Structure 1
Amino acid sequence: MQLRNALLSLFALVTLHGALFADDFQPNQKELPVQPPEDAIVLLGKDTNEFLSKSGNEIDWPLKDGVLTSTRGEGRSNHLVSKLHFRDADIHVEFKLPQKGTGNSGIYIHGNYELQIINSVGKEKLDQGEIGAVYGFAPALVNAGKGPEDWQVYDIRYQAPRRDDSGKIIKQGSITAWLNGQKVQDATKLGEPRSQYHPYRYKTTDYLKAIWERQKETSIGPVFLQDHDNAVQFRNVWVKPLDQKAFVYEVTNE
């Protein structure tokens, strides 16, 4: 109910205009945690958790004082999926790497496009597996990653690909992303998903299959927090929809 009420308030504030995806996206990342704007939907906060397991059940990641810690599952696939589904949106995620391990994790937007999380401190040559990359699409423009002693922040402006009635992409999507005060993706174009490991393909569930079928028809879907065998922490996750397509997904018994 809380999430639905937040959506109703948001729709009263949304104003559509033609410059949503222009060069005006420059989020303030100077001080963490960042206060969510009034037109954002909080998915993870001090007293808020709007994520489910990939089966649509309660999560099994530890949650304490508004901080979620990634918990290993079978085949590195114990992802969390948001109850909120959206089309175009700004997405904010704060995270912290573990002291041990690579810190491999990620943010799966619509289950298809992963903003990489990993310890890339000191890396000069960046590939599509390092921090700031859109996995399978583009490496980061710069290495803006920090080590495990600091909280870090992603701000992402996402425009979903548009599909025809057959599910074929007829207009590419795009991602612009800032990491720790530096732009790491600049209107990167998005076509069909390229990773064989994204949640709709690898060790998927009936719950996710139903979401994917609907997403192909509507270009509306959730955001995932990735399990990749590393105890990455997450806090202060919110989404600011840029249109009035967002809704709270529920399974219907047809």
Structure 2
Amino acid sequence: MPTDNVARHCFSYGICLLMLSLFLPLTRNALPLAAEEPANDDEAAVRPVTLPAALAGPDTVPATTEPPFLPVQNRLPVAAPTGAIVLLSARPQAGADSELPQFVNMSGGPIDWPVREGSIQVQVTPGHANHILSTAVFRDADIHAEFMTTPQGQGNSGLYLHGHYELQIYDSFGVNPPTEQDEGSLYRFGKPLVNAAKPTGQWQVYDIRFRAPRRDAKGHVEKVGSITAWLNGQKVQDNIEFQEPRSPYIPFKHGVNDYLRGIEKRLKETGFGPLFLQDHGSPVRFRNIWIVPRTDS
């Protein structure tokens, strides 16, 4: 080969080497190295994947996020889970000494609500409220209660959480749109998201996730509470917040006695309170009531 051709080829070859040396670092930084092949499919299946912080968008769920509240309500009665405090069995029996000691009347004595057909029934007492309340107290809890409304008295009753916040029970089947006084409402705080009420004479179910408000040393609310509630398979309250009660009918405002004053005093001091079942003039029936205390969140 002529000398000038050799020189040209060497010069071109040198340029290629120079370009290659500049290009390779760029590709090495831009493209990830091939991952080592896993030993088998099982190893690949369990290998964790971590998103870089720059790729983790606002919808990324942190590993510490608790699972959503999705209670089972499709078949009644629902069995109480392990760790639940059973306040009323799924089929209470008349004369069974172990059935009703978990509730007392508003003076702290035995209740007079009758046991009928595997449930207890509100004993309507004209002239004054005949609520009953649980002997067990709780702060944050998941609460399950099954009930049946009747046409008499418009099926009016309720679940008073801590005696302050009422999940309404009412003959509201077919009401559209539902209001803050219909079944599924957090009374005087929020109307239900949907009308999930069933007709009278059918068993219905509430599942409630309750976070109590936090109070200071003087009993004033310093951090709001919240409730998420499901009624008959549909979510009717979604993390609705509250502070002091708004209902004029709470048990601590009518027929108050020393026993109830003591309950409310301890509630404000400790944040722990009972579950009340409301007498509002209708023979509503209840069964299968239990609570699962939750750790502070």
Query: Normalising to structure 2: TM-score of the pair?
Result: 0.73
Give the superposed CA RMSD: 1.6
The 1-side partners of 2:208 and 2:177 are apart by: 23
Task: Please state if 1:40 is matched with 2:109.
Answer: no
Structure-2 change in CA distance of 1:75 and 1:134 (3 Å) = farther
The 1-side partners of 2:139 and 2:70 are apart by: 20
Query: Taking CA–CA contacts closer than 8 Å with sequence separation of 6 or more, which of the two structures ends up with the larger relative contact order?
Result: 1
The 1-side partners of 2:105 and 2:157 are apart by: 16
Computing the radius of gyration over CA atoms, which structure comes out larger, 1 or 2? Answer: 2
**Range moving further from structure 2, 176-185 or 142-151:** 142-151
Deviation at 1:70, TM superposition (A): 0.5
Q: C-alpha deviations, 1:101-149, integer Å up to 9, x for none? A: 3100000000000000001111112111100000110010000000113
Deviation at 1:39, TM superposition (A): 1.2
Helix, strand or coil for the counterpart of 2:263? helix
Task: Please state if 1:124 is matched with 2:180.
Answer: no
The 2-side partners of 1:207 and 1:66 are apart by: 30
The 2-side partners of 1:241 and 1:188 are apart by: 19
Aligned to 1:233: 285
Maintained 8 Å contact 1:76/1:227: no
**Letter aligned with residue 162 of structure 1:** R
**Letter aligned with residue 44 of structure 1:** L
Aligned to 1:249: none
Aligned to 1:91: 143
Higher helix share: 2
Helix, strand or coil for the counterpart of 1:234? strand
**Letter aligned with residue 188 of structure 1:** I
Aligned to 1:28: 72
Deviation at 1:66, TM superposition (A): 4.3
Query: Normalising to structure 1: TM-score of the pair?
Result: 0.85
**Letter aligned with residue 156 of structure 1:** I
Aligned to 1:154: 206
Task: Please state if 1:104 is matched with 2:174.
Answer: no
Structure-2 change in CA distance of 1:18 and 1:240 (3 Å) = farther
Maintained 8 Å contact 1:66/1:235: yes
Maintained 8 Å contact 2:139/2:271: yes
Maintained 8 Å contact 1:85/1:221: yes
The 2-side partners of 1:40 and 1:65 are apart by: 24
Aligned to 1:176: 228
Deviation at 1:241, TM superposition (A): 0.4
Structure-2 change in CA distance of 1:94 and 1:76 (3 Å) = farther
Deviation at 1:18, TM superposition (A): 6.2
Maintained 8 Å contact 2:128/2:255: no
Maintained 8 Å contact 2:126/2:281: no
Structure 2 stretches of 5 or more lacking a match?
1-62, 93-97
Count of residue correspondences: 226
Higher strand share: 1
Maintained 8 Å contact 1:44/1:66: no
Structure-2 change in CA distance of 1:53 and 1:211 (3 Å) = same
Structure-2 change in CA distance of 1:76 and 1:40 (3 Å) = same
